[in-house]
């Protein structure tokens, strides 16, 4: 009987470890370099399975779910504009970490296309002996320089994961909190729970696989001439296209065509002004270099 009990316990623990876990982080951002008092806060998910993890916006997940339900029902009366507006997100990217290959894949939309690159800068952490407690977790301090910012993280070994929000990983535990020294960005673990399958995020438009350096160049081109990315797609960039698309800087919502008739030149000018205003409001990115 004792042996049967041990086997049953082992099977139960195997079942628990095989389940997927969702960690909900509160992300606090100051995306406007000229207006640091404009603080944005929203939740993001870090979904972890045995093979990978996926970091993405809660609002994006909810927005995608609404779109999918509307499309599945044949369109109905279309989208509720107020509802969709309330689900706007400053986290339009998604980040997947492949545990087996130790590879981080970043996806972000520029104009009409989604760009995908594999992160080529390994994180180098300096782990301190300093410890404290955040919520119910005993945590330890670690620091790193990444993307032009100095980051301080607090990780815990109370949970059986070695991961964290955004691109942060590589510590001997789960990151409970991480923030930059300027106070522009912070990620704080709020709660966690079991989930079924990690969702497949909706992909719209073309997906283009590039090197990280080429993605940065495309971002700069978009800032100078955003309309060309929405009218031509890709800003004239020729690279490997992958079926699908998904989640930086996006065109403003609600302006998908010259619906009011009128002069196309005036419409282009209005669109350009709106997109440039969006870019200005996102002039303090999480990665400065």
pLDDT, mean of residues 282-288: 94
The answer to whether the pTM exceeds 0.85 is no
pLDDT for 201? 86
CA-wise closest residue to 222 among 115, 107, 96, 106: 115
What's the pLDDT score for residue 11? 41
Q: What is the pLDDT, as a whole number, of residue 264? A: 67
> Residue 56 above 90 pLDDT?
yes
pLDDT digits (tens, 9 = 90+) for 103-158: 999 999 998 899 999 999 999 999 999 999 999 999 999 999 999 999 999 999 99
Strand stretches in 121-196, DSSP E = 126-134, 137-146, 149-156, 174-180, 185-195
For residues 93 and 116, is the Cβ–Cβ distance under 8 A? no
Cα–Cα distance, 156 to 154 (Å, whole number): 7
Question: What gap in Å lies between CA 84 and CA 142, rounded to an integer?
Answer: 38
Minimum mean pLDDT among 15-19, 109-113, 178-182, 218-222: which range?
15-19
Mean pLDDT of 270-276: 78
User: Given a cut of 80, is residue 62 above it in pLDDT?
Assistant: yes
Q: Does pLDDT of 12 surpass 50?
A: no
Q: Give dist(CA 156, CA 158) in Å, integer.
A: 5
How far are the Cα atoms of 62, 75, 79, 226, 254 from residue 82, in angstroms, in the given order?
A: 14, 17, 9, 26, 11
Q: How many other CB atoms are found less than 10 A from the CB of residue 132?
A: 10
Average model confidence (pLDDT) for the chain?
A: 83
Domain residues of the chain, as ranges?
20-236+267-281
Task: Decide if pLDDT at 15 tops 70.
Answer: no
Q: Among 112-121, 159-168, 235-244, 261-270, which is the least confidently predicted range? A: 235-244
pLDDT band of residue 76 (cuts 50, 70, 90) is: low
Query: What are the pLDDT digits (tens) for 231-257?
Result: 665 555 545 544 433 334 554 444 444
User: What is the per-residue pLDDT for 247?
Assistant: 37
Least confident of 80-94, 182-196, 235-249: 235-249
């Amino acid at each position: 009987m004792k042996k049967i009990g041990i086997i049953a316990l082992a099977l139960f623990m195997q079942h628990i470890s095989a389940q997927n876990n969702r960690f909900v982080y509160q992300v606090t951002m100051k995306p406007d370099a000229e207006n640091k008092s404009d603080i944005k806060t929203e939740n993001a998910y870090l979904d972890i399975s045995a093979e990978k993890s996926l970091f993405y916006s809660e609002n994006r997940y909810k927005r995608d779910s609404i779109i999918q339900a509307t499309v599945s029902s044949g369109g109905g009366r279309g989208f509720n504009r107020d509802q969709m507006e309330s689900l706007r997100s400053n986290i339009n990217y998604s980040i997947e970490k492949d545990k087996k290959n130790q590879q981080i894949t970043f996806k972000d939309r520029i104009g009409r296309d989604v760009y995908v690159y594999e992160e080529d800068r390994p994180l180098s952490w300096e782990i301190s002996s300093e410890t404290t407690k955040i919520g119910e977790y005993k945590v330890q301090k670690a620091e790193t320089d990444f993307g032009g910012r100095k980051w301080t993280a607090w990780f815990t070994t109370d949970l059986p994961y070695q991961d964290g929000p955004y691109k942060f990983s590589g510590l001997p535990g789960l990151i409970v909190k991480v923030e930059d020294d300027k106070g522009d960005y912070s990620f704080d673990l709020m709660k966690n729970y079991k989930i079924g399958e990690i969702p497949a995020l909706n992909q719209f438009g073309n997906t283009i696989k590039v090197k990280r350096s080429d993605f940065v160049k495309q971002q700069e081109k978009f800032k100078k001439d955003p309309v060309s990315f929405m009218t031509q797609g890709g800003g004239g960039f020729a690279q490997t296209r992958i079926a699908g698309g998904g989640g930086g800087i996006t065109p403003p919502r609600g302006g998908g065509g010259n619906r009011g008739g009128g002069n196309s030149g005036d419409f282009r000018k209005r669109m350009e002004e709106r997109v440039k205003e969006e870019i200005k409001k996102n002039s303090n990115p999480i990665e400065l270099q």
